[in-house]
Amino acid sequence: MNAENILFAFGLTVFAGLATGIGSLMALFSRRFNPRFLAASLGFSAGVMIYVSFVEILAKARESLSGQLGEGAGASLTVVAFFAGIGIIALIDKLIPSYENPHEVSNFGPGGDEERSHDPRLLRMGLFSALAIAIHNFPEGLATFMAGLSEPGLGISIAVAIAIHNIPEGVAVSAPVYYATKSRKKAFILSFLSGLAEPLGALIGYFFLSSFFGPVTMGLIFAGVAGVMVYISLDELLPTAEEYGEHHVAIAGVVAGMLVMAVSLLLLR
Report residues of the chain scoring pLDDT below 50: 99-117
70-87 per-position pLDDT tens digit: 999 999 999 999 999 899
Q: Is residue 81 part of a domain?
A: yes
The pLDDT, as a whole number, for residue 76 is 96
The pLDDT, as a whole number, for residue 83 is 97
Q: Is residue 102 part of a domain?
A: no
Say if CB 225 and CB 78 are below 8 A apart: no
Count structural domains, the chain. Answer: 1
The pLDDT, as a whole number, for residue 209 is 63
Task: Tell me the backbone φ, ψ of residue 123, rounded to 5 degrees.
Answer: -65, -45
This model's pTM is above 0.95: no
Q: Is residue 106 part of a domain?
A: no
Say if CB 237 and CB 49 are below 8 A apart: yes
Q: Is residue 48 part of a domain?
A: yes
Burial 223-238 (b: 16+ CB within 10 A, else e): bbbbbbbbbbbebbbb
Q: Is residue 86 part of a domain?
A: yes
The closest alpha carbon to 49, from 142, 130, 153, belongs to: 130
- The DSSP string of the chain is --HHHHHHHHHHHHHHHTHHHHHHHHHT---S--HHHHHHHHHHHHHHHHHIIIIIIHHHHHHHHHHHH-HHHHHHHHHHHHHHHHHHHHHHHHHSPP---SS-GGG--TTTHHHHTT-HHHHHHHHHHHHHHHHHHHHHHHHHHHHHHH-HHHHHHHHHHHHHHHHHHHHHHHHHHHHHH--HHHHHHHHHHHHHHHHHHHHHIIIIITTT--HHHHHHHHHHHHHHHHHHIIIIIHHHHHHHS-HHHHHHHHHHHHHHHHHHHHHT-
The pLDDT, as a whole number, for residue 248 is 87
Q: Is residue 85 part of a domain?
A: yes
Reported as half-sphere exposure (CB side, CA atoms, 13 A), residue 166 has a value of 31
Task: Give the Cα separation of 255 and 262 in Å (integer).
Answer: 10
Say if CB 236 and CB 129 are below 8 A apart: yes
Task: Give the Cα separation of 167 and 174 in Å (integer).
Answer: 11
Alpha carbon dihedral 160, 165, 170, 173, in 10-degree steps, equals -150
**Domain containing residue 124:** 3-97+113-239+247-267
Q: Is residue 104 part of a domain?
A: no
The pLDDT, as a whole number, for residue 67 is 92
Q: Is residue 64 part of a domain?
A: yes
